[in-house]
Structure 1
Amino acid sequence: MTNFNTFKATLAIAIPLILGNLTQVAYGLIDTAMIGTLGYKQLAAASLVVNVLAIPLVIGIGLTMAITPLVAIANGQNNPHKASHVLYNGWTLSLVCGVVLALVVHAISFYLPYMGQDPEVAALSKNYLIIMGYSLIPMMVFGASKNFADGLQYTQTAMVLSMASLPLNAFLCWVFIYGHLGSPTFGVFGAGMATFISRVLLAIAMAIVVLKHKTFHPFISLRKQAWQLNKATFREMLGIGIPSSLQYCMEAGAFSISGIMVGWLGAVPQAAHQIALNCASTTFMASLGFSMAGSIRVSDAFGKGDGKSLALIGKSTAISGLLYGFLAALLMVAFGSYLPYAFTKDAEVVRVASILLVYAAIFQISDATQAIGVGLCRGVKDVVMPTIYVAIAYWGIGIPVGYLLAFHYQMGVSGIWIGFVTGLTFSAVLLNFRFFKNLHKIVARL
């Protein structure tokens, strides 16, 4: 298989993943836009809930992601029994962890009045936070089903269902937030109701597809033999899932801390920072899709013991990520003067945001390549050292460098973004170096 054919095969898996990721971004945009019409305090309440949920959310996502490489490896080994076994244990683990996370979020809701927030904002946030916390349960169950299908390289299923749920979520927001079609006017809480219902229906629909569609029949037909809870399988999933969750937590936490530091600089830098971060987060969805697709294909080759394909997939995915990073950087530079106007008309915010988008452009290259590096390492079940690299990159380099440049050398918000770029570049180099260094050992063993 040539490099181009390998790239096409990875791209075919990546495109549905990218569209699914963008759908999740759209969920947040719709909720924010509708809540924003209610008033600035309701919007502040939504922002508070998003920040509080950030860590539980990424923990849930990280835990369910362990299912994908394990299923892909089992599929590569032509072992449907193991893949089916991982699905059942994955469903169980996701349900249990989802309940635990929901209860933790519920407990946190009682402390909102003591977080230094506006009393009205804290009051508006409480019930919204609670229902969004419980929506993590169906989200994780959906994630388990989705990642099972992804591991078998059927990535279109979850994409179609996710995209179909988007207008449903928007419709339910319209009904519950504003009180249409005979519904009471729930305001902010209505957005939480809409998300909860959408996630429940999405989880049920995905589970039905996995259980009933002929594509998955070879795996589901083995349920009598394979569907047994197993401590070793739980340990295997947690061995990948916990480091993956920690990676996401450290990233989310670093961006949260950086956002707080930007707030020390004033409202204008904070607004400009949010604009640049929104743009970078959107383009990152494609990088994440490539990362997930590369991880799936590497796991499959790893399971098959096909060292040649594993090396080819790894190299083509890394090159693809680098090229995408450069393309995203060029587009951000080209349109950096115009993008801020989609968020604000304030001349000073636009000026600062345009500067930050130059750093965000450089950020694209490092962000894309480090995401690919994480995915490739996860594909061969290498997660511990990559987690340490990510910790050093964000917390040992990115945040300290950003703080020093911003406040000691008086570079302001630009200094914080230079810290981002420095940390991510360090992570990208180390992660990709580790994968390709270990690749020779892995290929030799296969």
Structure 2
Amino acid sequence: MMTYRSEGRKTLQLAFPIILGELSQMSLHLLDTAMIGFVGYKELAAASLVLQVINIPFIFGIGVTVSVAQMVSMAQGRHDRQLVSHYFFNGILLCLVAGLLISLGLHLGKNVLWHLGQDPEVVQLALPFMDLMSTSIIPMILFMALKQFADGLQYTKTAMVLSLSAIPINFLLNWLLIYGNWGFPRLELVGAGYATLITRTLICVALAIVILKHRVFRPFMAVRKNQWKLRRTAMKQLLKIGIPSSLQIGMEAGAFAVSGIIIGTISAQAQAAHQIALSCAAFTFMVSLGLSQAGSIRVSNAFGANQLTKISFIGKSTLGLSLMYGVLCCIIFTVFRWQLPTFFNHETEVITIAATLLLFAAIFQISDALQAIAAGLLRGVKDVNIPTLFIAIAYWVLGIPFGCLLAFYYNMGANGIWLGLIAGLSFSAIFLTLRFLNWNKRNGVNR
């Protein structure tokens, strides 16, 4: 018998490896931020600038990979192995093209950094780092596409193990190349770029070998002669989910990225503090993202099997989990807002600004968790267009303009930008959650 507790437990079981994998990937960013931060605050500001600019197109690429999990999970719910293989091949090709185009565009457009009102010394440090990070997008998007395929089949542990193994690899490469240990050249920020590129390539190749060779995935690889063909219908179905998903994730990440660029025009210290606070908030968000992906996969599987009552139980139990988690994160950020910045930098002004921003981050933890999970649940039932409109309004009509108004007209600086983000996240959380609950009512599910 389905209950909210039993369905919540099943979602957590599926989400746990995904969460660990996402936390591992975010740990790589935190690791880079911390190790670069101890070189100097201008290097940290340069890394922040590059990550903010790259994140906008990069997240669009990650959004395309989401469609692989959705379509694979739906085909699995129909018990159609050939269709699963069909979506795998077409999805990987789609993601490869997306990765190549994004990387090429960033390489060609890197001089935009000079036109964003940033400290010229920061921009000079950022340019070679941007080249390396742009190249590393290709193996990372391919890794995410392969991971989404495995996650869509609810085999989540393989990508988790590889993501965890990336942490010591990246740490060692950073230690060698940033600081010049064991006879390696001291490359500082550029060294962090090389470490990221090498690490992402290694885990991508390893996951590809596992999926192609491991017995768990063999039933889906065995039909490749019939299904491993480029098909227009499959591409349309993947893009129908992938493009709105990319827009949803991209508009949210883009809002945070643009906020970082805007804060960079205030001062390098404010930008460094923003990167610290944002890194902490992004780390906790990985748990919400893992819950969102697990809930979305389970809902998509139930949707493929036409189990509408099960969708209601899965969705509402996952939303309940997000509320509890959001409250916990709010408490942690409030209590430790002065201690957390010291892990990244020792500049007094940077720590003071970051502590204040972490208090704002604490406020939006509940709405951030709710909106991520509600959006994932709606993707699971192929409801992506109206949610995309809600997210556009939340961040680009409400959040960023309101934040700029507070920051510059009312002279609130970085604090004003973050208050705008709180407003946008709250709007998104309310309207996406209500839409999922209304979807249940429209389909006659009142549990």
Match of 1:4 in 2: 5
How many pairs were matched up? 444
1:190 paired to 2:161:
no
Higher mean displacement: 74-83 or 26-35? 26-35
Deviation at 1:298, TM superposition (A): 0.4
Does the 8 Å CA contact 2:92/2:145 hold for their aligned counterparts? yes
Q: Deviations over 1:18-43 (max 9, x none)?
A: 11111112212222333345445544
The question of 1:304 aligning with 2:305 is answered: yes
> 1:387-420: per-residue Cα shift (whole Å, max 9, x none)?
1100000111112332334444555544433322
Q: Deviations over 1:156-199 (max 9, x none)?
A: 11010111122112222333344555655544333222222221
* In 2, Cα distance between equivalents of 1:180 and 1:264: 35
Cα shift readout 1:244-293 (whole Å, capped 9, x = no counterpart): 11122211222233334445655665555444333322211111111111
More displaced, 71-80 or 183-192? 183-192
1:373 — aligned with what?
Answer: 374
1:101 corresponds to = 102
Which residue of 2 is the match for residue 420 of structure 1? 421
SS in 2 for 1:149: helix
Deviations 1:7-58 (CA, angstroms, capped at 9, x unpaired)? 1110011111111111112212222333345445544433332222111211
2:390 is the alignment partner of 1:404: no
| Deviation per residue, 1:318-358 (Å, 9 max, x gap) | 11111211221122233335434444566665555444433
1:333 aligns with: 334
Q: Which has the higher contact order (CA 8 A, sep 6+)?
A: 2
Aligned to 1:381, the other structure's residue is in SS state coil
Counterpart-to-counterpart distance in 1, 2:354 and 2:126: 29
Tell me which residue corresponds to 2:46: 45
| Shift, 1:439, TM fit | 2.3
Cα gap change, 1:316/1:246 in structure 2, threshold over 3 Å: closer, same or farther? same
Offset of residue 112 of structure 1: 4.5
CA distance in 2, matches of 1:67, 1:59: 14
CA distance in 1, matches of 2:31, 2:342: 19
1:238 positional shift = 1.4
Does the residue aligned with 2:216 lie in a helix, a strand or coil?
helix
SS at match of 1:214: coil
What TM-score, normalized to structure 2?
0.91
1:210 alignment counterpart: 211
Q: Give the secondary structure class of the aligned counterpart of 2:71.
A: helix
1:440, distance to aligned residue in structure 2 (A): 3.4
2: distance between equivalents of 1:310 and 1:229?
32
Unaligned runs of 5+ in 1: none
2:144: which partner in 1? 143
Aligned-CA RMSD value = 2.5
Mean CA deviation greater in 324-333 or 284-293: 324-333
Contact 2:297 2:380 in 1 (8 A): yes
Gaps of 5+ in 2: none
Give, in angstroms, the shift of residue 421 of structure 1: 1.9
Change beyond 3 A, Cα 1:347–1:232 = same
Deviation at 1:214, TM superposition (A): 1.4
AA at the equivalent of 2:171: A
Matches for 1:257-272 after TM superposition, within 5 Å: 257-263=258-264, 270=271, 272=273
Report what 1:434 is aligned to: 435
Structure 1's 405 and 282: CA in aligned 2 closer, same or farther, altered over 3 A?
A: same
Partners of 2:335 and 2:233 lie apart in 1 by 52
After TM superposition, the structure 1 stretch with the greater mean CA deviation from structure 2, 166-175 or 311-320, is 166-175
* Residues 65 and 144 in structure 2, CA contact (< 8 A), matched pair in contact too: yes
The alignment status of 1:201 with 2:199, answered yes or no, reads no
